[in-house]
Amino acid sequence: MFSIRSQIAIGVISSVLLTTIILVIAYKLMWFNGHMTLSLSITTMITSCLTLLICSIFINPLIQKIKQFNIKTKQFVNGEHLIDDDTFQSPREIRELNDSFNKMADEITKQMDMIKNEQQEKTEIIQNLAHDLKTPLAGIISYTEGLRDGVIQEHQEVHAAYETLIKQANRLSTLFDDMTHVISLNTGRSYPLELIQLDQLLVNILQTYEQRIKLEHRSLEVNFCSRIDAFYQYRPPLERILTNLLDNALKFSNYGSRIDIIISENANKDSINIAIKDEGIGIMHELQSRIFERTFRVEDSRNTKTGGSGLGLYIASELAQQIDASISVESELNVGTTMMLTLKKFNFS
């Protein structure tokens, strides 16, 4: 393909040649005399040269801008930082094209940064989940070998070994469950709206904790501040959110402590507040804004003694956003934590 300058030059030369041919034909047909034909030919050539010169003057900034635009495109492809140099003027269409390209480049850069950050976070999660898996697996292997080889023989020791195996197996189950939910969060999975009787939903959830609450000598109180009529919501994510919040309250509070679940409606009766309050270790104020981050537990605050993957609150927060809900936290160190789920009610006649 020819350059813009070449195309303009070819166009002007072609115009001169065509005009000259027409003048020669006109002279042959005796439309003009020889002197007039020569004058017209010279005038045409001079005019064409001036046209070519003027076009070159006006087209030069356009060509320079296109060259710069080409360099910028190559820089962007190579991942280099773009510097927009507007030291010379360019036609409106070129400026609009340049602005559109800059916006596109900025958006692509943002998207690429987001993808890189997400990929890095996922890698960190996988690495830490793999690390978390080693602890229960090592415990299971150790106690299993002890039972097999007869190292553990006393009745109480055998019973304790089985209890440990069960705990470590449950811990593995929780880790795999968290991994599954993290993977499914970004799959765009949809749920049908279902009629929710909140009291019955809580009964079903709390029944799964009944044995644990007894073994840990805890007390758990549910308080409805007002009558909550049936409403429509997405049952599976709602159950998972409440389960994760309860797990968190149990995990970070001591045996024998109390957990309160307080349910209330807002003044307009279009949303429900479910507060889960524990008497646990609490959260430092400067960390409260980060507890819902996907990689929060990867940081220095990581505490493997509590078990789990540390993804429970992240999963709960992401699911809450998907069902038009929100989770807030109030906590005081060494006093306790209150997790507040604000849930929108979908009413259908």
Provide the mean pLDDT of the chain.
80
Per-residue pLDDT reduced to its tens digit, 138-191: 778 888 888 888 888 787 888 888 888 887 888 788 777 777 777 666 665 677
Please say if the pLDDT value at position 86 is more than 60.
no
Please say if the pLDDT value at position 108 is more than 80.
yes
Among 14-28, 170-184, 278-292, the range with the most confident prediction by mean pLDDT is: 278-292
Please say if the pLDDT value at position 106 is more than 90.
no
pLDDT, position 187: 61
Tokens 């309050």 correspond to: 277
**Percent of the chain at pLDDT exceeding 70:** 81
Cα(323)–Cα(343) distance, rounded to whole angstroms? 8
Cα(103)–Cα(7) distance, rounded to whole angstroms? 31
Per-residue pLDDT reduced to its tens digit, 292-335: 887 675 344 444 445 555 678 888 898 898 898 999 999 998 89
Please say if the pLDDT value at position 4 is more than 70.
no
Cα(236)–Cα(191) distance, rounded to whole angstroms? 8
Please say if the pLDDT value at position 7 is more than 80.
no
pLDDT, position 340: 96
* Candidate from 26-35, 82-91, 143-152, 262-271 with smallest mean pLDDT: 82-91
E strands, 89-233, are 194-196, 219-224, 231-233
55: confidence class by pLDDT, cuts 50, 70, 90 = confident
Per-residue pLDDT reduced to its tens digit, 201-212: 999 999 888 888
* Inter-residue contact 238 to 312 (CB < 8 Å): no
Characterise 253 by phi-psi region: left (phi > 0), alpha (psi -120 to 50), beta (else). beta
**Percent of the chain at pLDDT exceeding 90:** 20
